[in-house]
Amino acid sequence: MTIEVVNTTPIEGQKPGTSGLRKKTRVFMQPTYLENFVQATFNAIGGAKGKCFVVGGDGRFLNRPAIQTILKMAAANGAAKVIVGQNGLLSTPAASHLIRQNQTDGGLILSASHNPGGIDQDFGVKFNTANGGPAPEGVTDSIYLQTQSLDHYSILQAPDVDLGTTGTQAIGTMQVDIVDPVTDYQALMETLFDFDKIRALFISGFTIRFDAMHAVTGPYATAILQDALGAPSGSVVNAIPLEDFGGGHPDPNPVWAKEIIDLMMSDTAPDFGAASDGDGDRNMVLGRGIYVTPSDSLAVLAANAHLAPGYRDGIAGVARSMPTSLASDRVAAKLGINSYETPTGWKFFGNLLDAGMVTLCGEESAGTGSNHVREKDGLWAVLLWLNILAERRESVTGVLTDHWQIYGRDYYSRHDYEAVPSDAANQLMSELRSKLSDLAGQSFAGLNIVSADEFSYLDPVDGSVSENQGVRINFTGDARAVLRLSGTGTEGATLRVYLEQFAPCGANHFKDPQDVLEKVRNATSIIIGIERHTGRTNPDVMT
């Protein structure tokens, strides 16, 4: 029986323009809260009748009950079929692939990405469209509008689906296919990478440690790296997805993935280290004794992608988010291919990928991916690195050193000031914006400003314009600072300060990045009045 439930809990605070709803888990547990978002999503896409969707999540607390609710609502709304990952698990890139492979009408992905999980932590839902990518702003805005006016939702009263058993089931008249979360994704990886070459690399004694951080990539990394590619068992650690990610933040950065960083900097380091986040779209890559910044990783992958079968014919272009370093631009220039600078957020790459204008994309925030799906993909980045190392038979340090000799090095670091009172953060940004046009020609802490502006993006495919995407300050001597407020934080505001200093070919490329960046950091602190506005002198996190 379908019941129509009168709406009681309006969804407040989903920011228009954000690609999903991310809240405290207990907020999602309020009666009708999740239901309202799901119904709003169905309404916003013209209803679910006759449609097919993919549903899965990163396994955090509430994942499975939320999937049961979504299935019953999809059935009540007349959906024809839903494909669900076994036990409710699907990494974000694997969900993107299933949406595309099965030509579904989209999918619902349950995750709060790298945020912690548990009843007192975070949960999230996001809708991806039929191209497999996060819903574009037009769709998220209409979901938001729906949440404001919704007065009822529909749900089928039916027993729960058995999420643990693969195969076809039914809920009402809707078909539910429970699929192994790894199989199709692994098959896709086998088309892109030379598994035999990578297997031979492991046979030669090459060692790896992959930290799945008790999150969704555990089963994927175990199946692919250990079972298929032959890395010794124990190479993948923290491989069982847990509802609270073992109490940590499943965020592959120097703070939360300290364990693997410490290992890679120690005498017992394996040849290669990597980690992914809660939902498997981010990556961290390390060599023995060396951390690869995501910006450098994108550049190295772009320069070497042709070594992997899936990219043998070369790449059409590279896109990077505005705060990502200029390293990938240098590769694109040398290869004579397109390069694009987009606002922060993976959804801005979708049009460029769909139009075939770029093949690789990346963000400084540990996101790298290609046209194989429409999300960033942590394990994909690891496999491309492995394929490159298997071909070149060099260490990570060797590959990086060689890269910097050819292109120069873009020293890079992001400084985050977290949980800043929103008023103070907004005041800082508005003061900065008001003096932007006067900054060029001025000098701060010994650095001259060449130009300063606010980044605005004109999408070359659909002509849409996204304004106020962050402030860029260029200094003489090839230094750059970028400033923006995070759009994903859940507590106060997070000020992100991105610092960059180029060292050309022939320079010393092995200095401490924080030392190299000190000048641009000091100049930027003065320009924006960081201490005056926030009372802080040091960031909470430096990546």
Query: Which residues contact Zn ion (rule: CB under 5 A)?
Result: 113, 277, 279, 281-282
CB within 8 A of 92, min separation 6: which ones? 58, 109, 111, 113, 279, 280, 281, 375, 376
Which pair of structure tokens corresponds to residue 112? 């709060």
With respect to Zn ion, which residue has the nearer C-beta, 84 or 213? Answer: 213
194 lines the binding site for ligand G1P (CB under 6 A): no
276 binds, among Zn ion, ligand G1P, none (CB under 5 to 8 A by kind): none
CA angle 310, 390, 181 (to 5 degrees): 55
Q: Considering only the stretches 209-217, 342-350, 417-425, 531-539, report the one whose residues sit in contact with ligand G1P under the rule CB under 6 A.
A: 342-350
With respect to ligand G1P, which residue has the nearer C-beta, 7 or 283? Answer: 283
487 lines the binding site for ligand G1P (CB under 6 A): yes
Helix (H, G, I), strand (E, B) or coil at 275: strand
387 binds, among ligand G1P, Zn ion, none (CB under 5 to 8 A by kind): none
Single out the residue of 253, 283, 344, 474 in contact with ligand G1P (rule: CB under 6 A): 344
Does residue 218 contact residue 504 with C-beta atoms inside 8 Å? no
CB of 251 to Zn ion, least distance (A): 8
Single out the residue of 87, 91, 113, 351 in contact with ligand G1P (rule: CB under 6 A): 113
277 binds, among Zn ion, ligand G1P, none (CB under 5 to 8 A by kind): Zn ion
The sign of the torsion formed by the CA atoms of 41, 45, 50, 51 equals negative
CB of 120 to Zn ion, least distance (A): 20
With respect to ligand G1P, which residue has the nearer C-beta, 35 or 377? Answer: 377
The footprint of ligand G1P on residues 366-425 (CB under 6 A) is 367
Of 253, 230, 229, 248, the closest CA to residue 238 belongs to 248
Phi-psi domain of 253 (left: phi exceeds 0; alpha: psi -120 through 50; beta: other): beta
> Which one is catalytic: 96, 113, 295, 486?
113
CB of 367 to ligand G1P, least distance (A): 6
Of 355, 288, 352, 291, the closest CA to residue 320 belongs to 352
304 lines the binding site for ligand G1P (CB under 6 A): no
With respect to ligand G1P, which residue has the nearer C-beta, 154 or 293? Answer: 293
116 lines the binding site for ligand G1P (CB under 6 A): no
279 binds, among Zn ion, ligand G1P, none (CB under 5 to 8 A by kind): Zn ion
293 lines the binding site for ligand G1P (CB under 6 A): no
Q: Considering only the stretches 72-80, 88-96, 137-145, 361-369, report the one whose residues sit in contact with ligand G1P under the rule CB under 6 A.
A: 361-369
Outline where 374-489 has alpha helix (H): 378-392, 396-407, 422-439
Does residue 247 contact residue 256 with C-beta atoms inside 8 Å? no
345 lines the binding site for ligand G1P (CB under 6 A): yes
226 lines the binding site for ligand G1P (CB under 6 A): no
> Tokens 């320009």 map to which residue?
527
Pairwise CA distance, residues 499 & 527, whole Å? 13
| Binding-site size, ligand G1P (CB under 6 A) | 13
Other Cβ atoms within 10 Å of 4 Cβ, number: 11
Q: Considering only the stretches 174-182, 488-496, 498-506, 522-530, report the one whose residues sit in contact with ligand G1P under the rule CB under 6 A.
A: 488-496
321 lines the binding site for ligand G1P (CB under 6 A): yes
With respect to ligand G1P, which residue has the nearer C-beta, 111 or 304? Answer: 111
17 lines the binding site for ligand G1P (CB under 6 A): no
Q: In the annotation, is 113 catalytic? A: yes
CA angle 234, 240, 246 (to 5 degrees): 110
Single out the residue of 58, 194, 363, 375 in contact with ligand G1P (rule: CB under 6 A): 363
Minimal CB distance to ligand G1P: which residue?
486
Does residue 31 contact residue 155 with C-beta atoms inside 8 Å? no
- Which residue type, as a one-letter code, is found at position 205? G
Single out the residue of 72, 214, 472, 496 in contact with ligand G1P (rule: CB under 6 A): 496
> Tokens 């030669």 map to which residue?
204
Does residue 176 contact residue 168 with C-beta atoms inside 8 Å? yes
Burial class (CB in 10 A: 0-12, 13-18, 19+), 227: middle
With respect to Zn ion, which residue has the nearer C-beta, 275 or 337? Answer: 275
35 lines the binding site for ligand G1P (CB under 6 A): no
Does residue 404 contact residue 502 with C-beta atoms inside 8 Å? no
CB of 490 to ligand G1P, least distance (A): 10
CB within 8 A of 529, min separation 6: which ones? 428, 431
Minimal CB distance to Zn ion: which residue?
113
CB of 420 to ligand G1P, least distance (A): 13
The sign of the torsion formed by the CA atoms of 81, 86, 88, 94 equals negative
CA angle 287, 292, 298 (to 5 degrees): 125
CB of 54 to Zn ion, least distance (A): 17
Which residues make up the interface to ligand G1P (CB under 6 A)? 113, 321, 344-346, 363, 365, 367, 486-489, 496
Active site residues: 113
